[in-house]
Structure 1
Amino acid sequence: MLDHLVYVVPDLDSAIDRFTAAGYPPAPGGRHSDRGTYNALLRLGPRSYLELLAVDPETTVAPPRWMGIDLVEGPAITRWAVHAGAVNFPGALYGGSRQLADGRTLRWRLSDPGVRPAVDVVPFVIEWNGSDFHPAERLPDHGLRLQTLQLEHPRPAAVNTSLERMGLPQKAIRGAAPKIGAVLRGPQGTLHL
């Protein structure tokens, strides 16, 4: 059901170095040229991954940019995505793409993850029917897996109603501000995001 976690970082190279030092080297992703971001990816399973997302230093796209990237200070999970076919989602899906490191273009359709809020605990949905593969299928498997996903929100009942409508089992708990936390576990140790 989980497609990916969006982990916004202030500097992609520094984040790659931190994950690599922990024993989990991210793979180069690509550029979202129309969004002003670029990324690196870590496989979390056959069809799920962690996306390290940063402002592309070569972009001419002005803020505010998607995924709350201009609204958070420091690293934070700002969004999470679920497979469109695994949930109840009656809304519209929009086309997107990014250029891969090898020059090919990866295409998808997704619900709008938005510019605001900084952190959105209700997931967006994505389908990869515009591509002949899921990004996780081409990533090295370092054995890293999502152990827990924690959702916090000042109004958890409203969030939980949205999650239930989508057919998702996750539940938000009360927190001072919207927050997405994750514990990832693998052979090199545990990561708390």
Structure 2
Amino acid sequence: MAEIDHIVIGARTLDEGARYIEDLLGVKPSRGGAHPGVGTHNMLLGMGAGCYLEVIAPDPAQPEPPHPRPFDLDDPSLRTMLEAEPRLIAYVASTPALDAVIARLGPSHAGEIKAMSRGNFAWRMAFPPQRQDMDNLIPPLIQWDGERAGKHIRDSGWRLSALEAEHPDAQALRGALGDRGLGDAVKVRPSPHPRLIAQLRHRDGREVTLTSA
């Protein structure tokens, strides 16, 4: 069984992404770090021990990576959208059985596993091949080496209360999520246009909706 590990906010720069989150949620994300060789860096906002929010942006301190940046950050249409405002662009799911899932689905569908680390954290991750992720609605899968990062990020008081996905081929999306053990984690419904929706709730009762479109 997989579960939501974190949601991803794309931004043109980390400063813009941090301001967006602070204006929206009333708390500034903390510094994360760089993803060497990937061409990105991030900031993090804790949402309880089991989940967090990641702000990700191209890292100007790194050379252009040999492969496209994750989450379609190099896509011209997404870049244009992020010039207007940071936004929800994706999510990542955690599984304790990454090797088994990739072996069952095959790397051509679920992606190849890559090992990554930063500081005291180490993890392995598999991104669906580009253009096979149904507009970022099929998430990358991550398996942490030890405790998940969410347990070590300062709690903001916000929680992910629901994650929803809309797509013209809702049946195919629902099947792909079920294959990854996410059948109960994401509510899927048909819609003419793909869209990811995250519902956040603060312990003081405030609610915020993030959408990818």
Interval of TM-score (by shorter of Structure 1 and Structure 2): 0.7 to 0.9
What residue number does 1:89 align with?
101
Residue in structure 1 matched with residue 70 of structure 2 by the alignment: 66
Q: Is the 8 A contact 2:201 2:208 kept in 1?
A: yes
Match of 2:38 among 35, 39, 45: 35
2:20 is aligned to 18
When the two chains are superposed, the root-mean-square deviation of aligned CA atoms in Å is: 2.4
Answer yes or no: is 1:111 the counterpart of 2:111: no
SS in 1 for 2:16: helix
Task: For residue 114 of structure 1, report the CA deviation from its aligned partner.
Answer: 4.6
Q: Give the ranges of 4+ consecutive aligned residues of structure 1 lying more than 4 Å apart after TM superposition.
A: 113-118
Q: Deviation digits for residues 127-146 of structure 1, max 9, x if unmatched? A: 111xx432112211121101
How much has 1:105 moved relative to structure 2?
5.4
Q: 1:147 aligns with which of 150, 161, 166?
A: 161
- Richer in helix (by share): 2
Gaps in structure 2 of 5+ consecutive residues: none
Deviation for aligned residue 1:179: 1.7
Determine the structure 2 residue equivalent to 1:76: 87
Q: Deviations over 1:42-100 (max 9, x none)?
A: 1122121111111112121247311111221223333222221278724465233254x
Are 1:157 and 2:157 an aligned pair?
A: no
Of all paired residues, the percent bearing the same amino acid is 28
Aligned length: 187
Which amino acid in 1 is paired with 2:115? G
Q: Which segment drifts farther, 21-30 or 109-118?
A: 109-118
Please give the alpha-carbon distance, in whole angstroms, between the structure 2 residues aligned to 1:27 and 1:115.
29
What's 1:191 paired with?
Answer: 208
Q: 2:126·2:142 contact (CA, 8 Å) conserved in 1?
A: yes
Letter in 2 for 1:112: F
What TM-score do you get using the length of structure 1 for normalisation? 0.84
Q: Is the 8 A contact 1:67 1:113 kept in 2?
A: no
TM-score between both structures, scaled by the size of structure 2: 0.77
3-state SS in 2 of match to 1:158: helix
Residues 46 and 53, structure 2, Cα contact 8 Å, conserved in 1: yes
SS of corresponding position for 1:79: strand
Is the Cα contact below 8 Å between 1:68 and 1:114 reproduced in 2? Answer: no
Q: Does 1:172 align with 2:188?
A: yes
